[in-house]
Chains A and B, each alone.
Chain A
Amino acid sequence: MEVEKIPVNMTVTLGAAHILSPLGEGLAASVERMRNGGTALQRTSTAFDTPAVLGMISSELLPQGPQRIQRLIDRCMQPLVRELGNPEFTDRWGCYLATTKGDIAALENGNAPGAALSVIADHVQRTYGFTKRPWVISNACASGTSAIAIAGAAIERGFVDHAVIIGVDVLSRFVLRGFQALHAVSEDPCLPFDAKRNGTSLGEGCAAVVLTKNASIFKDPLGTFVGGGIAHDANHISGPSRTGEGLMRAIQCAMKRSNVNASGIHVINAHGTGTDYNDAMESIAFERCALSEVPLSGYKGWFGHTLGAAGVLESLLALHALNAGLVLRSEGLSELGVPSMVNVLTKDMKIEGDLLLKTSSGFGGCNAAILLRAKKK
């Protein structure tokens, strides 16, 4: 795919990030837990009337509200808005929501209109006063990474000056039963890239971050957006391409767009679901992109697959760690078991480099890749 580099005389900066996941709240505390603690995945037999290993957020952390998904969003958005000094979200602000199923539990309660994904855009627009209608991006499990790619490009093209990105999904019987029917759920905490992996673990989470062309709105910027790409496998609706075609194309688009070659990438945060086919596909795509040597982790062994939130949540955690000169291990990995060469970490590692590649892949054969740079030391 030929992508012509358009000169962009602009730096898009990330900051005011807030996350909520089974690890707890906040980037610093979550990364600390990942360094010194184990998985936040828990075995339960009471949730959704079926035994399962899940990544759940403690309800005690959530503000009051009728819908769980809104409570997750508010818990991330309230500190974000405070940190920015309660700005007016004029038409120079965009809002990009990433979700796969929104409040699908509403359907179980007979409220089909409440389950429409645009309902969360209504909530965010009304509660935080966005002038422009928030986008709802639903590219399956690549939604979060796609939203960052699109928001970054929207600022570079001058459509907006600032963008709030929110990735969110909650656990539901609807999705759990579906993944179980596909035999895609592990009975134990998932083991991304491991030889003994036998499925993913589902989790829930919310992650919010601001992208801007004006870094001075942040007290402490997190890093910069460098480029992004999205591509389709055009192969199968529920299984990833055996050749990693779509993921390879998404990575190549992000690299070309950013004038970066493989040797310029220092860290990879992969999708790493723990299913046989996904992790195998990713290893093939990374090898085809000449990225076999790059230190790589997948974070789902810590808190599960948070679906539409995953791309945003995992990007922010990896970038925060990289700001401390760290690449965190891939929790659950003991023996690498993928067909192509990849450098998946079993231990946390110190690193000098600053350029992070984040990738996500989802049903429908959709793949997304973004490049983010850690802040200057």
Chain B
Amino acid sequence: MNGLAHTRYRNGHFTVDGKLFAEPTGSPDTDLNNAWSSLGIELPRFPRMDRSSKLVAIGGSAFFIEGGALAGHSKDTIGMVIMGTHGSMDTDLKYQTQLDADNHAGPGMFVYTLPNIAMGEFSIQHGLHGSGLCLLNNALDLAQMREACEILLHEHGMESVICGWSDIFADQATATFMVVTERTLADRNSAELEKIFNDH
């Protein structure tokens, strides 16, 4: 679609460049695990990560598997721009519930109560040292996302940027990721990018 490498996750329905990788089972956690398994990547940390980190891992990792858009690329010049509405709210609520019940919550859970941790987890998984931005918005703001990508590409020396929308809250999980470069952004107007985000 538009020739841009992209992945899409909608409540368990997971596609890579339009090809079906996993289908929903009705259980949000099983769906996340199934989508991850469909990529065939070993990651012992995966079961311990929070849902938001799992969603970013699923959406972004397909670009690194054999034949993926970023396989073999220098890890130093891959940037990240991740936008969503709820950020870490899924974990925030669990943490708050535990805090209210016990007046104490585990440090392991607290760490996941920052929206950018999913991006940090992803950078660890793939050894990415590049520039990155975690943005929050009520809805997808393509103008903002495009500007952020252009800043990383032109001003922070990135050669490609994994950009996407990733949002999980109240068992509703949505993620769309794509890889953009200076060239692909210059060749496409915002309507073409929006089509990738909105197509089901």
Contacts and interface: CB of A to CB of B under 8 A. Distances in A.
Chain A interface size range: 35 or more
Given A100-B114, A253-B157, A232 B129 contact: yes
Nearest to B119: A364
Q: Is the interface of A mostly helix, strand, loop or mixed?
A: mixed
A136 interface: yes
A117 B88 CA distance: 10
B113 A139 contact: no
A181 B109 CA distance: 10
Given A157-B150, A174-B96, A237 B117 contact: yes
Contacts of B133: 137, 139, 146, 150, 230
Chain B interface size range: 35 or more
A128 interface: no
A55 B26 CA distance: 47
B135 A137 contact: yes
B144 A133 contact: yes
B73 interface: no
Contacts of A136: 135-137
Interface stretch (B7-15, B35-43, B59-67, B99-107): B99-107
A194 B82 CA distance: 37
Interface in A141-186: 146, 150, 153-154, 156-157, 159, 173-174, 177-179, 181-183
A362 B99 contact: no
Contact of A139 (B128, B134, B137): B134
B166 to A, nearest CB: 13
A133 B137 contact: yes
Interface in B80-103: 85-87, 89, 92-93, 95-96, 99-100, 103
A273 B52 CA distance: 27
B104 A181 contact: yes
Interface of B: 75-77, 85-87, 89, 92-93, 95-96, 99-100, 103-107, 110-111, 113-117, 119-121, 123-124, 126-138, 141, 143-144, 147-148, 150-151, 154-157
Interface of A: 1-4, 6, 49, 100-101, 104, 107-108, 112, 115-118, 121-122, 132-133, 135-140, 146, 150, 153-154, 156-157, 159, 173-174, 177-179, 181-183, 228-238, 245-246, 249, 253, 256-257, 362-366
